[in-house]
Amino acid sequence: MAPLAREVHVLPGRTRLRIDEKRGDEAYFLAVEKALSDYPSISAVETNSRTASVLVHHTENDPSPWQRAEEQDLFHVRENEAEIRKTPRPISATATPARKARRPKPEAARTNRANWRPLIFLAWVGMGIAQAVEGNIAIPATAAFWYAYLVTQENGVSNTELG
pTM: 0.47
Q: Rounded distance, CA 122 to CA 160, Å? A: 14
Same domain, 15 and 74: yes
pLDDT score of 70: 85
> Does residue 157 sit within a domain?
yes
From the CB of residue 35, how many other CB atoms can be counted at a distance below 10 Å? Answer: 16
Q: Which of 10-24, 51-65, 110-124 has the lowest mean pLDDT?
A: 110-124
> Does residue 100 sit within a domain?
no
Asked if the model's pLDDT at residue 93 lies above 50, the reply is no
> Quick one: pLDDT band at residue 120, thresholds 50, 70, 90?
confident
Same domain, 30 and 74: yes
Asked if the model's pLDDT at residue 36 lies above 80, the reply is yes
For position 8, which CATH number holds?
Answer: 3.30.70.100
pLDDT score of 133: 85
Same domain, 8 and 82: yes
Q: Rounded distance, CA 105 to CA 100, Å? A: 15
The crossing angle, in degrees rounded to 10, of helices 26-37 and 64-71 is: 130
Asked if the model's pLDDT at residue 18 lies above 90, the reply is yes
Q: What is the dihedral of CA 109, 110, 113, 115, to 10 degrees?
A: -60
Same domain, 122 and 82: no
Instruction: Show the domain range for 131.
Output: 115-161
> Quick one: pLDDT band at residue 161, thresholds 50, 70, 90?
low
- Last residue in a domain, options 86, 104, 124: 86
Q: Rounded distance, CA 10 to CA 25, Å? A: 24
Q: What is the mean pLDDT of the chain?
A: 75
> Does residue 19 sit within a domain?
yes
Average pLDDT over residues 36-55: 89
pLDDT score of 83: 44
- Last residue in a domain, options 68, 86, 104: 86
Number of domains within the chain: 2
> Does residue 119 sit within a domain?
yes
pLDDT score of 108: 54
Asked if the model's pLDDT at residue 125 lies above 80, the reply is yes
> Quick one: pLDDT band at residue 79, thresholds 50, 70, 90?
low
